[in-house]
Amino acid sequence: MSPSAYRIAVFGGGGAHAPLETWARETGRRIALAGALLLCGGREGVMAAAAEGVRAAGGTSLGILPGKNREESPPNPHIDIPLFTGLGQGRNLVLALSADAAIAIGGGWGTLSEIALARKHGCPVVLLASWRLTDPNGKEPDDLIHAQTPKDAVAAALAAAEKRRQSQDRRKGK
């Protein structure tokens, strides 16, 4: 795993239905084929399907789990590197801060908190069959990226991650 590989998070629920899981698997596959590392919450549903797609394509996945240990938060069987946080949904912040860009697939309240924490900290978010938001001023936030397919979502996430790194490098005067 090269240190310069992009880290792409997939946000999504633990109890997703089959079509979303198919999309998550394809999303994971494309993240791995692009040479990026998958970050996810490490549990079932969308998270497991994304990690399964990564493994099928020979990539690496990192699962950032809510519980204190394997008994409290069993990682799904496709996770390569499980990390236990003991922080519950506080682990969503670690996902949001560690990713170069994120893709939200479907999702419930936990996923919405990940989307919000990511945007709060400048992490680009691509939405795939996920929440739609209207801010207190009655506007859709113009800094969310909408995609219609896993292929488009991964392409958009990688482009956003690249743009973000370039801007970070400029700030450091590289």
Closest by CA to 28, choosing from 19, 16, 37, is 37
CA 39 to chain centre: 6
Closer residue to a second copy (CB): 48 or 64: 64
What residues between 134 and 153 interact with a second copy by CB under 8 A? 134-136
| Beta carbons within 10 angstroms of residue 131's beta carbon | 15
Give dist(CA 33, CA 49) in Å, integer. 16
Closer residue to a second copy (CB): 115 or 158: 115
Closer residue to a second copy (CB): 11 or 26: 11
Length of the chain equals 174
Closest distance of CB 159 from a second copy, Å: 20
The token pair at 39 is 């970050």
33 is a site residue for a second copy (CB under 8 A)? no
Binding mask 67-96 for a second copy (x = CB under 8 A): -xxxx-------xxxxxxxxxxxx--xx--
Collect all residues with Cβ–Cβ distance below 8 Å to 71 and sequence separation of at least 6.
Answer: none
Chain residues binding a second copy by CB under 8 A are 1-3, 7, 37, 60, 62, 64, 68-71, 79-90, 93-94, 97-98, 106-110, 112-113, 115-117, 119-122, 129-136, 168, 171
